[in-house]
Homo-oligomer: A and B are copies of this chain.
Amino acid sequence: MFLARVTGSVVSTQKVDSMRGQKLLIVEPLRVDEKDQSSLKGTGRTFICVDTVGSGEGETVLIVQGSSARFTEETKKLPIDAAIIGIVDTVEVQGKNVFGGK
């Protein structure tokens, strides 16, 4: 899985029937900054995901790819290869908080 930030959304009227009603979100994958391991930074890549947990723009989320994206109640019959399966509260790297926290 990978971490990503929700940056936008896609509207598609003419689509496969099973996809009707599915919210399509744009996400940018994140990675731990190589320099000092103290923050998350964007990778510049763009993925489209189905959301299963009610996430919204600006949130940091957990994404699953491939056939496993169909392994939730909400997505099991969908032709999708990426799904948001969690909203991230905190990320800790090398004992330091790099996202979220108080």
**A residues apposed to B, CB below 8 Å:** 1-3, 7-19, 24, 26, 28, 30-32, 34, 37, 42, 44-49, 52-54, 57, 62, 64-73, 75, 77-83, 85-95, 98, 100
Contact = CB atoms under 8 A, between A and B. Distances in A.
22 contacts: A3-B10, A7-B32, A7-B37, A8-B92, A8-B98, A10-B88, A10-B92, A11-B88, A11-B100, A14-B53, A14-B86, A15-B62, A15-B85, A15-B87, A16-B72, A30-B46, A48-B62, A64-B79, A66-B81, A68-B70, A75-B79, A79-B83
Contacts of A87: 12-15
Given A46-B2, A48-B1, A77 B71 contact: yes
A51 B9 CA distance: 22
Nearest to A85: B16
A57 B8 contact: no
